[in-house]
C-alpha cells in the first residue's frame, strides 16, 4: 500500500475577509434601504452614494471569494501555483534557485514584494502553465518590467511584448500566449535573474519566512525519491 505524500496548502492573503466584506455590504445596503423609506427626498444623493459604496465593497468581497481556495500547494514532488485564471506546476528538481529579490538603488536597498524562482530550463514550464494564466501574468508583472527599466537592467525596447514564436530545445514551436509568456520570462530572467515570481499577496506569511519554507521543501524533496 503506497504512502500518501504530505501536502502544504497555502491560502493567499488576498482571500482574507471575503465573506466579511460581502456581509458588511449587505448590512449597509439593507440599513440604507430601511432608512431611505422615510428620508429619500431629503438625502437622495447621500443615499445613492452609500449604495454605491456598498456595491464596491460587495464586488471586492466577491472577487476575493472567487479566488482559488489555495494559492499554492507544496508537495514533496512539486510546487503548484493556483490563480483565478489558471495554474502552473513545477517539480522541485527543475528549480535551480528560490530567493528573495533584493536590489540596490544608489545607497538604498530595495526588496521587491516577490519571491523569485529560477528554473534550470525554461522549457520545463512550457506545458505546465495554462495559456490563460500565461497571458494574465504578462500583464500582472508589468511592475517588474517597469522596475527593471528604472534600474537600467532593461531598455524600453527589450520590455516590449514579443509575439514571435518560441522554439523549445526539442524543436517544438510555441505560439500565442504561451510563446509570449516564455519570451517575457526570458526577459525578466535577463534583468532580475528569475523566471517565475510569486507575489507577496499569494502567500500567508512574511516573505523571508515563506522563502525559507520553499527552500526547505526543495531540499527535503530528495528524501521522497
Q: pLDDT tens across 56-101, in order?
A: 988 888 877 777 788 999 999 999 999 989 999 999 999 999 999 9
pTM over 0.75: yes
Q: Nearest-CA neighbor of 115 among 183, 5, 192?
A: 192
pLDDT string in tens for the chain (225-residue length): 345 667 889 887 766 677 788 899 888 888 888 888 877 778 888 888 988 998 998 888 887 777 778 899 999 999 999 998 999 999 999 999 999 998 877 777 888 999 999 999 998 898 899 999 999 999 999 999 999 999 989 999 988 988 899 999 888 999 999 999 999 999 999 999 999 999 998 988 899 999 999 999 998 887 765
Q: Nearest-CA neighbor of 126 among 77, 182, 56?
A: 182
Distance between CA atoms of 177 and 163, rounded to whole angstroms?
A: 8
Distance between CA atoms of 1 and 147, rounded to whole angstroms?
A: 51
How many other C-beta atoms can be found within 10 angstroms of the C-beta atom of residue 160? 11
> Is the separation of the CB atoms in 192 and 71 below 8 Å?
no
> Is the separation of the CB atoms in 58 and 21 below 8 Å?
yes
Amino acid at each position: 500500500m503506497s504512502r500518501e505524500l504530505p501536502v502544504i496548502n497555502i491560502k493567499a492573503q488576498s482571500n482574507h475577509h471575503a465573506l466579511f466584506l460581502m456581509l458588511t455590504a449587505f448590512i449597509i445596503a439593507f440599513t440604507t434601504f430601511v432608512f431611505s423609506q422615510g428620508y429619500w427626498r431629503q438625502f437622495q444623493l447621500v443615499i445613492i452614494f452609500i449604495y454605491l459604496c456598498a456595491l464596491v465593497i460587495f464586488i471586492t468581497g466577491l472577487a476575493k471569494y472567487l479566488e482559488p481556495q489555495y494559492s499554492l500547494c507544496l508537495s514533496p514532488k512539486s510546487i503548484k501555483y493556483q490563480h483565478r485564471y489558471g495554474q502552473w506546476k513545477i517539480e522541485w528538481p527543475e528549480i535551480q534557485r528560490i530567493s528573495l529579490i533584493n536590489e540596490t538603488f544608489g545607497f538604498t536597498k530595495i526588496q521587491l514584494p516577490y519571491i523569485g524562482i529560477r528554473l534550470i530550463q525554461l522549457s520545463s514550464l512550457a506545458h505546465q502553465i495554462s495559456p490563460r494564466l500565461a497571458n494574465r501574468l504578462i500583464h500582472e508583472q508589468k511592475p517588474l518590467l517597469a522596475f527593471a527599466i528604472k534600474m537600467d537592467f532593461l531598455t524600453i525596447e527589450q520590455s516590449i511584448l514579443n509575439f514571435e514564436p518560441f522554439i523549445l530545445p526539442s524543436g517544438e514551436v510555441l505560439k500565442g500566449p504561451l510563446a509570449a509568456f516564455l519570451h517575457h520570462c526570458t526577459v525578466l530572467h535577463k534583468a532580475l535573474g528569475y523566471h517565475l515570481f510569486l507575489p507577496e499577496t499569494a502567500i500567508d506569511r512574511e516573505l523571508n519566512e515563506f522563502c525559507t519554507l520553499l527552500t526547505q521543501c526543495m531540499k527535503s524533496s530528495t528524501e521522497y525519491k
